[in-house]
Amino acid sequence: MVPVLSLLLAIQDVAPEMGIPELTPAILVVFGLVGLALVLFISEAMRIDVTAILLMVLVVVLSPWTGVDAGVGLSGFSSQATIAVLAMFILSEGVRRTGVLQRLGHFISKVTGGNPRRQLAALVGLSGGTAGFINNTPVVAMMIPMAVNIANRSNVSPSRYLIPISYAAMMGGMLTVVGTSTNLLASDVSDRLLDHPFSMFEFTLLGLLVLSTGTIYLLTVGWWLTPARIKPREDPIDTFEMGNYLTELHVLPGSSLAGMTVERAREALGLDLEVLRIRREGRAVTTPMGDRRIRQEDVLIVRTDPETVQKLLSLPNVGLGGGGAVEREELGVEDDPLLKGKLPSEVDESDGDADEPERSLVELVVLSETPLVGETLRSLNFSQTYQAWVLAIRRGSGIVHSKLNRTKLVGGDTLLVQAGPEAIERLGRNRSFIVSRVIKEPEFRRGRTSIALGIVAGVVAVSALDLLPIAIAAMGGVVAMVLTRCLRANELYTAVDWNVIFLLAGLIPLGVALEESGGAEFLAHSLVVAAGDWHPLLLVFVFYLFTALLTDLISNNASVVLMIPVAVGTALVVDSNPFAFVMAVTFAASTPMLTPVGYQTNLMVYGPGGYRFTDFFRVGAPLQVILAVVTTLGIGWIWGV
């Protein structure tokens, strides 16, 4: 912060002669809040929605300088953008519950005949086309398991499909104003600054140009640059490198473990292990595990590392049972139809408990900005809450086997979980996860597909014809979803990503403060002075690139709130079209391609694709540059500068 302050003071020294407004205490206070926001967003010292609420409180507390009182500070919760985003989450959930995308996935697999390039074209087209009318985040959530299924059936690495699906959804979200929460927020800011909210199809022509360009890239250059990190039909045991981490321990007569509960034994030993199953007198015992009392002659199937096994073997009367290695069938792997064939079972039917549900392996992706982020499996009491056991965590291309219970979860983590059918269904309903490998397709309300799609089409039509504001039309669609039983009333609240709602409500006052304090005008004049005699179209290009780079570090919604006031101020100073600059910021904030953390859809595919952090730069950097040029020229052509 010190170098930045020194730069601001240096600018202030020459400000009068260069036409730059005076650097007032109010501007310094607001810049301090913006700096705090950037530090907290980039460092992730606290959850992004909590950061936004903190900023909202500070903006109001510092109202003598920010010019934002309590009424304006809380206006983010009543903003049309916030209400519209909330409603669109619910409408998207109503469509998801019909299973329409899953049926399209089966259709794609059938008509493409197993040809990988045709499949990629169909997946990219479906992702991009759908994201314009259903919020792009749930679109990607629905398409991940579909793409994995299609890839495995065609013997293609799922990694070849997942980054393109994410990028296509980001670009497709720019077809209409309801495609992303960023568009709706940008519309709200544009309305406040220019009295020009976005109409439903305001930028559809530019969106089509961007999506077409990006699609051509993904099907050609992108196909060769996208790596195949995960082998097709690869066994999760192999994918997560679990071979040396699943072990049988035989509790011999006289063992110190006998008589203890599983949880007490773990605490007493102080070792990093998890008991997944107990084989006892020809029966398999699984749940509930924590309170199960260990007996002599039990065989414990544990997840741990070789070092911990050696420590366990140093205990009196503990040995490796059944030859040491755990057969994959013991975990129910052979029940997973998506894995490579069925492994020959060596477990006699009498080994199983008739009352125990069949257990399978399933992969779960942890979504960012959810209550799980920053928590550990222990703090979540994961095993007891879900009756499921985490065997390993894949974070990008790295795999965590040890100290799982003490590992803090981050967005994009993929958990290898052993669970029964009920637990898998419960996990699938939890909006903090995506089940990326589907064991059993959930029950969908297939008979209401046309109704749900008709409701969304009606919302779009009413908004496009200016019969009602987007927020009101979307809320009417929510009521229609419930009345037609596409959604149940108790499903409305779980359909909403509340982190995004609080993020929007908390950031809007900061944008107002940046404008009211004169901070946006100060930055605009400083930028114009630094740019010299640049052509306005070149300034639009610079705003696009800077916003895209900023969004790769912080939230896309935060980028819009911070950059649009500065962009509008710059346009007014150079006597250019301010709406053209608004479009540049909006498109750039919705298409950050360089990192997995720049946009939620990138983070969602990060784990299931087994990608490295640099894979996104490798595939996305050329596309980012191409889109910067295409978008800038498209803005100049459509709106002029």
The whole-angstrom separation of Cα 571 and Cα 640 is: 12
Mean pLDDT for all residues in the chain: 79
Cβ atoms 460, 130 nearer than 8 A: no
DSSP classification of residue 74: T
Q: What is the pLDDT, as a whole number, of residue 326?
A: 42
At 373 the pLDDT is 80
Contact (CB, 8 A) for 574 and 536: yes
* 185 beta partners: none
| Rounded Cα–Cα distance for residues 37 and 39 (Å) | 6
The confidence score (pLDDT) of residue 17 equals 47
Nearest residue to 414 via CA among 431, 398, 393:
393
- Structure confidence at residue 241 (pLDDT): 62
Whole-number Å distance between alpha carbons of 634 and 550: 22
Chain centroid, CA 215 distance in Å: 21
Q: Which pair of structure tokens corresponds to residue 165?
A: 């699906």
What is the C-alpha to C-alpha distance for residues 311 and 565, in angstroms, rounded to an integer?
Answer: 61
Give per-residue pLDDT as tens, 213-254: 999 999 999 999 999 888 776 556 566 666 556 666 777 777
pTM of whole model > 0.85?
no
Which helix H or strand E contains 620, and what residues bound it? helix 613-638
pLDDT digits (tens, 9 = 90+) for 455-474: 999 998 998 888 888 889 99
In order of their start, the domains of the chain are 84-185+197-234+444-498 (no CATH), 237-351 (3.30.70.1450), 360-435 (3.30.70.1450)
pLDDT per residue as tens digits for the range 252-299: 777 777 778 877 777 776 766 777 777 776 666 665 666 778 887 787
* Closest by Cα among 347, 387, 388, 399 to 242: 399
Q: What percent of the chain has pLDDT over 70?
A: 80
Question: Please, are residues 277 and 301 in contact by the beta-carbon 8 Å criterion?
Answer: yes
> Which stretches of the chain score pLDDT less than 70?
1-21, 233-248, 269, 271-272, 281-290, 304-360, 369, 396-397, 402, 436-443
- The pLDDT tens digits for 346-385 are 333 333 343 445 566 778 888 776 778 888 888 888 877 8
Q: Report residue 154 as tokens.
A: 């065609």
